[in-house]
Structure 1
Amino acid sequence: MDPTVVAQLYRAMNGERDIQITYTSMTSGLSDPQWISPVHFHFDGEAIYLRAWSYNHEAYRDYLPIRIAKQIEMITRERPAPLPFDTDWNSFVRLWICPRSGLSDAQARVVRREYGFQEKTHIAVNTRKALAFYVIRRWRLDDEKARLELDRMEELDA
Structure 2
Amino acid sequence: MSEEKKAKSGKELRWGVERRMEFIEFRLFWEGRINRRDLIEKFGVSVPQASADLGKYQEVAPENIHYDIRAKCYYPDKDFKPKFLNPDSDRYLANMLSLSSGIMTEEECWLYSIPSYDVLPQPRRGIDPMRLRKVVGAIREKLAVQVRYQSMNAPEPEWRWITPHALAFDGYRWHVRAWCHRGEAFKDFVLARIVSIRLTKEHDLDPTEDVEWQEFIDVRIGPHPKLTETQRIAIELDYGMENGELVIPVRRGFLFYFLKRMGLDIDPDVRQPKHQQIVLINADEVYAVFSRSEGNAS
Bucket of the pairwise TM-score, normalised by the shorter protein: 0.7 to 0.9
CA distance in 2, matches of 1:82, 1:139: 33
Match of 1:89 in 2: 213
Unaligned runs of 5+ in 1: none
Say which is worse superposed, 82-91 or 40-49, in terms of deviation.
82-91
Q: 1:27 and 1:103, CA in 2 relative to 1: closer, same or farther beyond 3 A? A: farther
Query: Partner residue of 1:12?
Result: 138
Q: 1:147 is aligned with what amino acid?
A: Q
TM-score, length of structure 1 as denominator length: 0.82
Indicate whether 1:133 and 2:256 are aligned.
yes
Q: Report the secondary structure of 1:26's partner residue.
A: coil
Aligned AA (1:133): F
Q: Deviations over 1:69-109 (max 9, x none)?
A: 035xx211121x44471111111210011123444445433
Q: For 1:69, what is the secondary structure of its paired residue? A: strand
Question: In the TM superposition, what is the alpha-carbon distance from 1:127 to its structure 2 partner?
Answer: 2.4
Matched, 1:110 2:240: no
Residue aligned with 2:281, SS: strand
Question: Which residue does the alignment assign to 1:57?
Answer: 183
Write out per-residue CA displacement over residues 100-145 of structure 1, whole angstroms, 9 at most, x where no aligned residue: 3444445433322322325x52110012222222221221212443
User: Displacement of 1:36 after TM fit?
Assistant: 0.3
TM-superposition CA deviations, 1:32-83 (whole Å, max 9, x none): 1111000001222222111000011111111111011035xx211121x444
Aligned residue in 1 for 2:161: 35
Contact map agreement 1:21 1:36 (CA 8 A) in 2: yes
Indicate if the aligned counterparts of 1:4 and 1:70 stay in contact, CA closer than 8 A: no
Is 2:281 aligned against 1:151?
yes
Q: Does the alignment pair 1:46 with 2:176?
A: no
- Structure 1's consecutive aligned runs of 4 or more residues displaced over 6 angstroms after TM superposition are none
State the partner residue of 2:73.
none
Q: Is contact 2:221-2:278 (8 Å) kept?
A: yes
Give the TM-score normalised by the residue count of structure 2: 0.46
The answer to which structure has the higher helix fraction is 2
Question: What is the aligned partner in structure 1 of residue 100 from structure 2?
Answer: none
Alignment partner of 1:23 is 2:149: yes
SS at match of 2:183: coil
Higher-Rg structure is 2
